[in-house]
Amino acid sequence: MLLVVALGGNALLRRGEPLTAERQRRNVRAAAAALAPLAREHHLVISHGNGPQVGLLALQGAAWHPEESYPLDILDAETEGMIGYLIEQEIGNMLPGRRCATLLTQVEVDPRDPAFSHPAKPIGPLYPEAEARRLARERGWRIAPDGCGWRRVVASPRPLRILELPVIELLVEQGVIVVCAGGGGIPVVRRADGSLVGVESVIDKDRASGLLARELKADAFLMLTDVDAVYRGWGTAAAEPIRRATPASLRRLEFDPGSMGPKVEAACEFVARTGAVAGIGTLDGAAAILAGEAGTQVTAD
pLDDT at 14 over 80: no
pLDDT per position as a tens digit, 17-37: 777 888 888 889 999 999 999
81 a catalytic residue:
no
Decide which of 178 and 122 is more confident: 178
Decide which of 277 and 15 is more confident: 277
β-sheet with 121-127: strand ranges across? 121-127, 149-154, 142-146
Q: 8, 9, 124, 210: which one is catalytic?
A: 9
List CB contacts of 197: < 8 A, sequence separation 6 or more: 188, 189, 191
pLDDT per position as a tens digit, 49-74: 876 777 677 666 665 655 567 888 99
Half-sphere exposure of 197 (CA within 13 A, CB side): 8
pLDDT at 181 over 90: yes
Q: CA 183, CA 203: separation in Å to the nearest integer? A: 7
pLDDT at 88 over 70: yes
pLDDT at 260 over 70: yes
Residue 66: predicted pLDDT = 57
Beta bridge partners of 107: 162, 187
Question: What SS3 state is found at 294?
Answer: coil
Residue 72: predicted pLDDT = 84
CB 39 within 8 A of CB 100: no
Residue 116: predicted pLDDT = 92
Q: 10, 183, 285, 295: which one is catalytic?
A: 10
Q: 55, 121, 279, 285: which one is catalytic?
A: 121
Q: CA 80, CA 254: separation in Å to the nearest integer? A: 31
217 a catalytic residue:
no
CB 252 within 8 A of CB 34: no
Decide which of 257 and 14 is more confident: 257
Residue 5: predicted pLDDT = 97
Across the range 141-158, mean pLDDT stands at 89
* Nearest of 190, 189, 230, 188 to residue 206 by alpha carbon: 230
Residue 17: predicted pLDDT = 73
Residue 251: predicted pLDDT = 94
121 a catalytic residue:
yes
For 28, list phi and psi in degrees, rounded to 5.
-65, -35
Residue 68: predicted pLDDT = 61
Decide which of 223 and 61 is more confident: 223
Residue 67: predicted pLDDT = 58
pLDDT at 15 over 70: no
263 a catalytic residue:
yes
281 a catalytic residue:
no
Residue 65: predicted pLDDT = 59
**Average pLDDT over the chain, rounded to an integer:** 90
Q: 205, 210, 279, 285: which one is catalytic?
A: 205
Q: 27, 49, 185, 263: which one is catalytic?
A: 263
For 266, list phi and psi in degrees, rounded to 5.
-65, -40
- Quote the pTM value: 0.89
- What the chain holds in terms of domains, given with CATH numbers, is 2-112+157-298 (3.40.1160.10), 120-154 (no CATH)
pLDDT at 240 over 70: yes
Residue 130: predicted pLDDT = 94
Residue 62: predicted pLDDT = 60
Mark 209-239 as b/e (b = at least 16 C-beta within 10 Å).
bbbbbbebebbbbbbbbbbbbbbbebeeeee
